[in-house]
């Protein structure tokens, strides 16, 4: 089978009509960078936000044209609403889901508050975020999700950390997910959690070269085109940091709230504050801060050492007026079990540490179950 070239893909897209029907996608400059990896083709098409839903046939036509190129094994085509490239006077970049109609009743979506489409069957979506990488956000997200499950809830986890997906490793899940009816993706499952990660679909090198709009668009599809079934909670392991991708995610996903993970060090706390501010900007409630690697438990004696200036996150939470959810120690157990893909809440459910995660989960759930009804997005099905 010959290697697929970018030129072949561009030539195929040059035959797909542009939305105004007067030209083609390439001449109109609507196609993003095209990435080819392992004979699979990835690109996005820029469309005006308010037309994203009606342009689903365009997306399909582009996908079909590219899939027909000899040697192409598959294509991931996403619609992206880009303010700069769009002539529409839209107030927010708003890639719309396709496949379902989530338009708010009474007309076109108009601003960030209106474009947040819910996920059918999913009760509350909770983001786990951190101001910077390496603080243990993914480890916390996975154990938190398992703790919610241990507390009796139906739970899914979406790994939105597209540049460094950890969920497949942490939950020991590999392989490609199956498709249902050629459209929806069936989530993978382990330890009672339904899980979806970009890591199941795209290799890390491919994701690395994606730019903001593609990341957002792919994430929104992962959220909405996965057959999650009925879930009480979907935990989203957010990408680390507080850049545009995170902000747009926070803007477009109907989050019930966010859990911020920090370590006790000053620098991490400064970054955690940025994360709190970022969610504040888009009026997402902060469900609380978790202090991870709070203190060190010696593996031999079990003695506790406060070597990192433990307590910083609690003080910070009090200072900025958000709940403090708990302290998770730095232990060999957490690290080793994470590396093995058997997270501690699953592997050692009766340990002291699992109890800490369960308490965090119970605290968060009590806040969410009181608040989500009030904040539930209106979803309209056609
Ligand atoms: N409480 C803990 N005790 C011991 N090791 C931990 C703890 N929390 C996380 N780790 C370890 O720290 C490393 C980083 O954790 P993790 O991948 O969860 O962080 P992250 O914030 O999601 O990082 P990134 O954003 O860079 O992906 C991992 O090796 C993990 O096993």
Q: How far is the CA of 351 from the centre of ligand 1 (A)?
A: 19
Annotation-wise, does 29 bind a ligand? no
Annotation-wise, does 6 bind a ligand? no
Regions of the chain where pLDDT drops below 50: 83-115, 372-382
- Identify the residue whose C-alpha is closest to ligand 1 atom 1: 330
Task: Confirm whether 6-106 and 122-375 share one CATH topology.
Answer: no
What is the number of the ligand 1 atom nearest to the C-alpha of 294? Answer: 1
- Identify the residue whose C-alpha is closest to ligand 1 atom 12: 136
The pLDDT score that the predictor gives to residue 90 is: 31
**CATH for 6-106?**
3.30.300.130
pTM (predicted TM-score):
0.73
**CATH for 122-375?**
3.40.50.300
The interface pTM score, or ipTM, of the predicted complex is: 0.97
3-state secondary structure the chain: CCCCCHHHHHHHHCCCECCCCCCECCCCCCECCCEEECCEEEEEEEECHHHCCCCHHHHHHHHHHHHCCCCCCEEEEEEEECCCCCCCCCCCCCCCCCCCCCCCCCCCCCCHHHHCCCCCCEEEEEEEECCCCCCCHHHHHHHHHHHHHHCCCCEEEEECCCCCCCHHHHCCCCCCCCEECCCEECCEEECCEEEEEHHHHCCHHHHHCCCHHHHHHHHHHHHHCECCCCEEEEEEECCCCCCHHHHHHHHHCCCCEEEEEECCCHHHHHHHHHHHHHHHHCCCCEEEEEEEEEEEECCCCCCEECCCCCCHHHHHHHHHCCCEEEEEEECHHHHHHHHHCCCHHHHCCCCHHHHHHHHHHHHHHHHHHHHHHHHCCCCCCC
Residue range 112-160, pLDDT digits in tens = 333 466 788 899 999 999 988 888 999 999 999 999 999 999 999 999 8
The pLDDT score that the predictor gives to residue 215 is: 73
Q: How far is the CA of 139 from the centre of ligand 1 (A)?
A: 5
Annotation-wise, does 137 bind a ligand? yes
Burial class of residue 225 (count of CB atoms within 10 Å of its CB; 0-12, 13-18, 19+): middle
Q: How far is the CA of 166 from the centre of ligand 1 (A)?
A: 10
The pLDDT score that the predictor gives to residue 208 is: 62
The pLDDT score that the predictor gives to residue 2 is: 66
The pLDDT score that the predictor gives to residue 59 is: 85
For the chain, give every domain's residue range.
6-106, 122-375
Distance CA 207, CA 13 (A): 22
The pLDDT score that the predictor gives to residue 144 is: 98
Annotation-wise, does 135 bind a ligand? yes
Q: Residues with beta carbon inside 6 Å of ligand 1?
A: 130, 133-139, 161, 164, 166, 240, 292-293, 328, 330-331, 334-335, 338
Q: Which of 160, 166, 338 to mutate to test the pocket of ligand 1 (most atoms within 8 A of CB)?
A: 338
The pLDDT score that the predictor gives to residue 379 is: 35
Annotation-wise, does 51 bind a ligand? no
């Amino acid at each position: 089978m010959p290697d697929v070239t970018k030129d072949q893909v561009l030539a195929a897209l040059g035959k797909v009509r542009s939305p105004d029907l007067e030209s083609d996608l390439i001449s109109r400059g609507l196609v993003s960078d095209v990435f080819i990896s392992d004979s699979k083709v990835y690109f996005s098409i820029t469309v005006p936000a308010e037309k994203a839903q009606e342009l689903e046939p365009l997306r399909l036509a582009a996908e079909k044209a590219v899939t027909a190129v000899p040697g192409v094994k598959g294509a991931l085509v996403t619609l992206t609403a880009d303010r700069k490239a769009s002539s529409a006077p839209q107030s927010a970049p708003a890639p719309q889901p396709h496949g379902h109609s989530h338009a708010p009743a009474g007309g076109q979506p108009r601003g960030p508050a209106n474009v947040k489409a819910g996920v059918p069957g999913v009760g509350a979506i909770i983001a786990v975020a951190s101001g910077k990488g390496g603080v243990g956000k993914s480890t916390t997200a996975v154990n938190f999700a398992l703790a919610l499950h241990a507390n009796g809830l139906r739970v899914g986890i979406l790994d939105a950390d597209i540049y460094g997906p950890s969920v497949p490793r942490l939950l020991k899940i590999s392989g490609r997910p199956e498709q249902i009816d050629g459209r929806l993706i069936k989530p993978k499952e382990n330890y009672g959690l339904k899980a979806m990660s970009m890591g199941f679909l795209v290799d890390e090198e491919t994701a690395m070269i994606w730019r903001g709009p593609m990341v957002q668009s792919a994430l929104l599809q992962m959220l909405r085109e996965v057959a999650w079934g009925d879930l009480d909670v979907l935990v989203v392991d957010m990408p680390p940091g507080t850049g545009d991708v995170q902000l747009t995610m926070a803007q477009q996903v109907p989050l019930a709230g966010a859990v911020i993970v920090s370590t006790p060090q000053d620098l991490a706390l400064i970054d955690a504050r940025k994360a709190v501010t970022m969610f504040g900007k888009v009026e997402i409630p902060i469900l609380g801060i978790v202090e991870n690697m709070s203190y060190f438990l010696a593996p031999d004696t079990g003695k506790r050492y406060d070597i990192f200036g433990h307590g910083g996150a609690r003080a910070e939470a009090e200072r900025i007026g958000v709940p403090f959810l708990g302290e998770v120690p730095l232990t060999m157990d957490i690290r080793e079990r994470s590396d093995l893909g058997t997270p501690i809440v699953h592997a050692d459910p009766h340990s002291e540490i699992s109890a800490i995660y369960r308490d965090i989960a119970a605290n968060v759930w009590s806040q969410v179950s009181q608040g989500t009804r009030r904040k539930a997005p209106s979803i309209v099905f056609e």
